[in-house]
Structure 1
Amino acid sequence: MKRKLLIRDLTLRDGQQSLFATRMSQQQVDRVLELYRSTGFYATEVWGGAVPDSIMRFLNENPWARLDKIQKGIGDTTLLTALSRGRNLFGYNPYPDEVIEGFCKHSVQSGIGIMRIFDALNDVDNVKATVKYVKQYGGKADCAVCYTVDPKYSTRDKIRTLINERHFP
């Protein structure tokens, strides 16, 4: 079986978040969408983190409309992905399961194929509902671990703890 390298591009989400304080307007995004059709990326992260909040708060744009325009602009040449803060979704406070379910359902139905999910405290309980609902509505849940170099605990120790002590839905 021939193995293939799958590349996920983060430019439309993290690139603008890190370089431009998440202030790319829809018009700026629209100018690059056609270029993505021929890249061959396995997945393109287009949403999440601070993007939806900044789109509404600073640009007075609709994040759902942006997702729709990106989906149409890129087409089906790549999976669209989003970065979620677990129970906090794309916000800064935890949400109840009913909100998480509705958000995940609408995200998947709107074209998000993969939701990359993390919790800043690596508290697995804070990602369980998001994982459950993304999968329930047909998306893929891609969990991430936050870490830093720690002289007391190695990365291997932290991963072992996360795997052995917790169970995902």
Structure 2
Amino acid sequence: MKTIVVVMGVSGSGKTTVASLLAERLGCAFRDGDDLHPRENVEKMKSGTPLTDADRLPWLQAIGRQIDAWRERGEAGVVTCSALKRIYRDIIVGGRRDVSLVYLKGIQALIHGRLQARTSHFMPVGLLDSQFATLQEPAEDERPIVVDIGLEPARIVGEIVRRLAERPSR
């Protein structure tokens, strides 16, 4: 079985940047979880309305299907997902012991500045507070790799690769 990684964190934590670089470094597929959102979710977020758990369910299930497709084909892959709550991570990672969770952790002020500088994303800065309010950091039993987003993306990727290599084979 090949490595499958879910890169999680609030909007603006660098998920897409880090995950795409990680996939390149691992020589595997990359999928931006935002591309799997139903159109209604994107429109809701653009209007500044936070998503409900019911809104997120079809999106999380689509990410889970992507992960399972890679697993069934014996392929490696990296996918992004905010995965803010434990119940969301249970859907996309759950009992899949061959899937690694990477949490991009950062302080709200740093992420707020990043979101203000971003122009091409549907997530408005105003929803960052709701993301932090919703965030349940991964527990130790989820076996997360936690990385500080204050580092440069290449260093973050290097740290993730190093820590993935240290994990016992499953």
Whether TM exceeds 0.5 here: the answer is: no
Query: The TM-score by the shorter chain falls in which range?
Result: 0.3 to 0.5
TM-score of the superposition, structure 1-length normalised?
Answer: 0.37
